[in-house]
Chains A and B, each alone.
Chain A
Amino acid sequence: MKASIIVFPGSNCDRDIAVSIKKITNLEPVMVWHKETSIPESDLIVIPGGFTFGDYLRCGSIAANSPIMNDIIKKASDGLPTLGICNGFQILTESGLLPGTLIRNDCLSFLCKTVSIRVENNETKFSNKYKQKEIINIPIAHNEGNFFANEDTLKKIKDSNQIIFKYCDQNGEVNEKSNPNGSIENIAGITNEKGNVLGMMPHPERATCKITKLTDGENLFKSIYEFLS
């Protein structure tokens, strides 16, 4: 089985994600350059974090128009599991695969820290190894991670149970204080309606190693792998 990791100019978590996937699952990571026009035969697509095209325009907006995106949109719409992390999440909203948008952090600065997030829906391809309402610690590192959606969109997201992760405190409280970036309803990660496309701002690939004392991201990759096998 294979995971295609899309590499754009300015991607910088591509190696990290490849290392995590290889270590935790039996998926073989394949790097796919953004100028390709089709995704090779794969079981998973991953759009990694970074600063595609410098994020000099709206984050992810230029990458969302790269040649490879047509095939990603096609395959993801057909149900192929697709994961976007950080800048990858931004690219997924820019390409229309996920609802809502990511705007500047309300603290108006880049923020890198380990935060607690709560699993809101453990019945997805991406979260089945977590317990419902489990509190996990995963690092964030972004300047534009403030999730926003208008009322109608938000209602749809909620009605179809698309919210997967919410920022919380160490005790699982979801409130303003435990919201690092101003995201509406503390949203940290959502899926599309079908549940096969996940976008999340926290970096699960940064929480897959005992030596850094962060391992809560492992179950995300295990969930995907279990679903696929």
Chain B
Amino acid sequence: MNKITEKMVEEHGISSEEYDFILESLNRDPTITELGIFSAMWSEHCSYKSSKYWLSQLPTKNDFVIQGPGENAGVIDIGDGYAAVFKMESHNHPSFIEPYQGAATGVGGILRDVFTMGARPVALLNSIRFGETSHEKTKHLLTGVVSGIGGYGNCMGIPTVGGEVEFNSSYNDNILVNAMCVGIAKKDKIFYSKASGVGNSVVYVGSKTGRDGIHGATMASAEFDDNSEEKRPTVQVGDPFSEKLLLEACMELMKMDVIVAIQDMGAAGLTSSAVEMAGKGNLGIELDLDKVPCREERMSAYEIMLSESQERMLMILEPDKEDIAKKIFEKWELDFSVIGKLTDTNRLVINHEKEKKADITLDILEKGAPSYKRPYEINIFDNESIQEDKYKNESPISILKKMIESPNLCSRRWVWEQYDHMVMTDTVLLPGGDSAIIRVHGTNKGLSVTSDSTPRYCASDPFEGGKQAVAEAWRNLISVGSTPIAITDCMNFGNPEKKEIMGQFAGVIKGMIEACNTLDFPVVSGNVSLYNETNGKGINPTPVIGGVGVVNNLDIFSDQNFKRINDLILVIGKTNGHLTQSIYANELLNYKKGLPPKVDLEEELKNGLALKELITKRLIDTSHDISDGGLLVALTEMSMKNNIGYKVNITKENLNSYLFGEDQARYAVAIEKSKIEEVRSFLIDKNIFFEEIGQTNKDNIIFNDEKISVTELRDLYENWFNNYLSEAS
């Protein structure tokens, strides 16, 4: 056996204190396989060692939560015997190295997290963030990531219905690809990962295991692998066709009463699924790696345990039910192999080629995993305001034109038309609005889904930014008339060992806690991605919030598109004209100082619930959350689809602040003439602040005395991506 050297320990990302603990617990040197297992289980990704102190403080319960964090995905009760199962996960680093496969396998991984719980995936969303548009890699990464996401989801036949795209220089060398999946299951047919039943079989299903994705393995392979293979890329390769077969095979098997426990093999592959399943059941597990289906020859125990080959699952079955399962997987032409059994020893025992390659007490791996309360310092920007507005004397329409053809506000149609967003024929509200709505198949009920984050707010004030990300997701679900239920989060940050980065994390979490509590909008699942840095510079702190809500009756919902001319346009919520950290300030004026808008959560709750009630009473069918870009951008977005513009008269001293400021808790709504009085008195009764600012108008947008056709604005709005991508780099 090879001797473990100090260098090998270091290269496995294990600190010397952590290694001392390993030596003490084992009372001997670990084998190389064991070292690999510790390295994987104690990695930031699997152990949440820097983040769990903070994550554990997030609210995780309300009346609808069936399963909070700690399982493959979160589960909420959506009524009528159904549950929604959902989670978001990052695939940032792989997507930067190989955008198509990185993004594709990100989608594949999140799909498995959902269907492993017995839910059929019904919607995908993606939050993707790239460097500035002038950066040399941006076009390549953008086109690769978008086609990778489409390539996987389209083949699977699961609609991709929403997401975000942002360009910002902080992501120049570290893009973000966060994928979310929502599935639907019968409430009483949820499958969990907790193993039970000593003597039950451990079964491997899906694709074969290869050498792809063995992190940390390549660097040391010469030292511990006599047959020194060539170095393999560490990015896994996705095979959506195999995943589709795996999905159908699992769905077929789950209809029968056969599976005791099931978990996908995601990050850290067989290691984490075996350890977590047995650990949750307080049992032991013994694996015979000679039985693992491999697609390459002479794979070592180390490689098999750490491979991140895709499209694989681990199941616990009662031995006498193996045949039922085997038959189904054979029908779908997938591998099926009994690779071990559950024991009562609380040990992970790995046998390979007639040798015991690992024997570790699970408690050491799981409970012995380090947890750090890292030092932190929450920094916020100084409260400065814009001294000179170079567009002060420019007309609002002319500024609006610049805004809506800017990369962060223009139409994302180029992206979502590459995703099949209609397969399954349940997409009621298409991408491009505040939330998408997916019908619960065979019912008149819907799920609303959205994903949101405003990283520039988080960078300037983590606490307010954390609040805002949650509040915006909530608002997006409200503005389609749904009841927000719960969220999943994907926390993308820099190096947590730096106290200012840890401060961003802590501040954002504190803000999220407040928002989740006030809005009764708990976190049921999530993922943390740290060390998003290049050359010592971290990304903007980016907590992406995936929100899920319920539409109880699909005859009643709202969307953002103006539907009639001469509707009254009304703004719910107060416009103070907060300009710093707005898109107008950051991108048009290039002014990046100052604080983001404050989020008054009580105001959010009051305004949002009032709007929802108005929609439910069928008084409002056109509503849009006012966020990035401010009021005038929101009204213009409402005009595009049906070619119905607006006519508003506003004279204010700081007109640009009013029109382009990003104050929170606001919605723009359009009200049919006959319903105006009722809406007015409802809002007055509820003591909701609102302003009547104009009417919808045929074909044109008229601001004070200036006029422009909706068509002209739409061309600017729709063409940015095509123009950008057709420019020579």
Contact = CB atoms under 8 A, between A and B. Distances in A.
Interface string B229-251: 00000000001111011000000
Interface stretch (A48-56, A70-78, A92-100): A48-56
Nearest to A16: B425
B150 interface: yes
Interface residues of A, number: 30
Given A113-B417, A141-B420, A211 B241 contact: no
Majority-rule SS of A interface residues:
mixed
Interface string A33-67: 00000000000000001110111100000000000
A149 interface: no
Contact of B422 (A9, A20, A110, A112): A112
B427 interface: yes
30 contacts: A9-B241, A10-B241, A10-B245, A12-B157, A15-B424, A16-B424, A16-B425, A51-B155, A51-B157, A51-B244, A54-B155, A54-B239, A54-B242, A56-B241, A109-B150, A109-B418, A110-B151, A110-B418, A110-B419, A111-B417, A112-B418, A139-B422, A203-B422, A206-B422, A206-B423, A208-B425, A209-B425, A211-B428, A211-B439, A212-B428
Contacts of A15: 424
A112 B240 contact: no
Interface of A: 9-10, 12-13, 15-16, 19-20, 49-51, 53-56, 109-113, 139, 141, 143, 203, 205-206, 208-209, 211-212
Contacts of B419: 110, 112
Nearest to B245: A9
Nearest to A208: B425
A13 B420 CA distance: 12
A112 B154 CA distance: 10
A30 to B, nearest CB: 17
Contacts of B156: 12
B240 A51 contact: yes
B417 A205 contact: no
B417 A112 contact: yes
A211 B554 contact: yes
B425 A206 contact: yes
A10 B439 contact: no
Interface string B130-174: 000000000000000001001100111100000000000000000
A54 to B, nearest CB: 3
B691 interface: no
B372 to A, nearest CB: 43
B507 to A, nearest CB: 39
Pairs of residues from A and B, 9 with the lowest C-beta to C-beta distance, nearest first:
A12-B157, A54-B241, A51-B155, A141-B420, A112-B420, A16-B425, A110-B418, A110-B150, A139-B422
Contacts of A54: 155, 239-242, 244
B157 A13 contact: yes
Nearest to A11: B157
A53 B241 contact: yes
B160 to A, nearest CB: 9
A50 B428 contact: no
Interface in B561-592: none
Most buried by B among A55, A56, A112: A112
Contacts of A110: 147, 150-151, 154, 418-420
A206 B554 CA distance: 18
A147 to B, nearest CB: 20
B429 to A, nearest CB: 9
A55 B147 CA distance: 15
Interface residues of B, number: 29
B420 A212 contact: no
A214 B239 CA distance: 32
Nearest to A52: B241
A15 B418 CA distance: 22
Contacts of A212: 422, 425, 427-428
A9 B417 CA distance: 25
A13 B417 CA distance: 18
Most buried by A among B242, B418, B425: B425
A39 to B, nearest CB: 19
Contacts of B240: 51, 54
A54 B147 CA distance: 15
Interface of B: 147, 150-151, 154-157, 239-242, 244-245, 332-333, 416-425, 427-428, 439, 554
A35 to B, nearest CB: 9
A163 B501 CA distance: 63
B147 A9 contact: no
A49 B421 CA distance: 14
B333 A9 contact: yes
Nearest to A17: B425
A53 B242 CA distance: 9
A56 B242 CA distance: 11
Given A10-B241, A203-B422, A211-B554, 14 more contacts: A9-B333, A10-B244, A12-B157, A13-B157, A50-B157, A54-B241, A109-B150, A110-B150, A110-B154, A141-B154, A143-B154, A205-B425, A208-B425, A211-B439
B244 A12 contact: yes
Nearest to A48: B157
A10 B155 contact: yes
A135 B427 CA distance: 23
A109 B421 CA distance: 15
A55 B439 CA distance: 29
Most buried by A among B155, B156, B245: B155
Nearest to B244: A10
A209 B441 CA distance: 12
Contacts of B245: 9-10
Contact of B423 (A10, A12, A55, A113): A12
Nearest to B248: A9
Contact of B244 (A9, A16, A20): A9
A115 to B, nearest CB: 11
Nearest to B426: A212
Contacts of B150: 109-110
Contacts of A209: 425
A147 B476 CA distance: 41
A205 B157 CA distance: 14
Contacts of B155: 10, 12, 51, 54-55
A110 B418 CA distance: 5
A32 to B, nearest CB: 14
A20 B441 CA distance: 13
Nearest to A143: B154
B362 to A, nearest CB: 37
A112 B240 CA distance: 18
A51 B425 contact: no
Contacts of B428: 211-212
A107 to B, nearest CB: 9
Contacts of A206: 422-423, 425
Nearest to A7: B248
Contacts of B239: 54
Contact of A111 (B418, B424, B427): B418
Contacts of A20: 425
A63 to B, nearest CB: 12
A143 B419 CA distance: 10
A141 B241 contact: no
A208 B426 CA distance: 11
A84 B721 CA distance: 34
B147 A109 contact: yes
Contacts of A50: 157
A90 to B, nearest CB: 14
Nearest to B154: A110
A113 B427 CA distance: 13
B338 to A, nearest CB: 24
Nearest to B557: A211
B332 A16 contact: no
Contacts of B427: 212
Given A53-B241, A109-B418, A111-B417, A13 B333 contact: no
A19 B439 CA distance: 14
A9 B332 contact: yes
A203 B420 CA distance: 12
A174 B676 CA distance: 44
